[in-house]
Amino acid sequence: MEEKIKEILAETGAVLSGHFLLSSGKHSGGYVQCAKVLRFPDKAEVILKPVAEKLKEMKIDKIVGPAMGGILVAYELGRQLGIEAIFTERTDGVMSLRRGFELNKGDKVVISEDVLTTGKSTLETRKVLEAYGAEVVAVASIIDRRGESMLEDLPVISAVSYQFSTYEKEDCPLCRSGMEVVKPGSRTIF
Ligand SMILES: O=P(O)(O)OC[C@H]1O[C@H](OP(=O)(O)OP(=O)(O)O)[C@H](O)[C@@H]1O
Ligand SMILES: O=C(O)c1cc(=O)[nH]c(=O)[nH]1
């Protein structure tokens, strides 16, 4: 199934190579733009089905996706699981739950993401949810591109994994080659 999902990601133009500034501030020659595949609801259903199947085994009350990338993933997983899908968002750089969304003490929640790189957005989201007394039981994503071990105390359920080289800005060979760097994501605070 991983191969089929990677084919869908490639054919929808989601897998990019170039010189990218990631949300973490690191640089990379590879990037997965999940919005390119999620623009097709039928393909979103296919690529997230294996993730939803695994989540079915857990007793989950809600799916929470951090904006922007996690929202559509939460929506599709919530649809397949028949549960509520909500989102957190950054206001002045601070992640919070807004729009009258509610979490009850003891709610078992899954955080959904399009891409996991360093896990920073996920950890920020986890803090917000735990402050409401919710229990984060897993993280779900389309892409797992974590290079280092992050989120070790949580089950991570992803549709596919990629290993792209990432570099600190100072050590980036793509910077040295003079290639212009592109920042596709919306986070501005690293
Ligand atoms: O694991 P991390 O290092 O946190 O990186 C992954 C995050 O980066 C991207 O979001 P971004 O903040 O760029 O905003 P976007 O969802 O609007 O693209 C992506 O959607 C994940 O949320
Ligand atoms: O780390 C990121 O910001 C990131 C990497 C990636 O491949 N795709 C994405 O949407 N964000």
The pLDDT, as a whole number, for residue 181 is: 96
Question: Exposure string (b/e) for 46-70, b if CB count within 10 Å is 16 or more?
Answer: ebbebbbeebeeeebbbbbbbbebb
Q: Residue 113, annotated ligand binder?
A: yes
Q: Residue 100, annotated ligand binder?
A: no
DSSP per position, 82-111 = TSEEEEEEEETTEEEE-TT----TT-EEEE
Q: pLDDT for 39-96, tens place per residue?
A: 999 999 999 999 999 999 899 999 999 999 999 999 999 999 999 999 999 999 899 9
Q: Which domains does the chain have, with CATH numbers?
A: 2-176 (3.40.50.2020)
Residue nearest to atom 13 of ligand 1 (CA): 185
Q: pLDDT for 135-189, tens place per residue?
A: 999 999 999 999 877 788 899 999 999 999 999 999 999 999 999 999 987 776 5
Pocket of ligand 2 (CB under 6 A): 22-24, 31-32, 34, 69, 114-115, 117, 145, 185
Rounded Cα distance, 182 and 160, in Å: 24
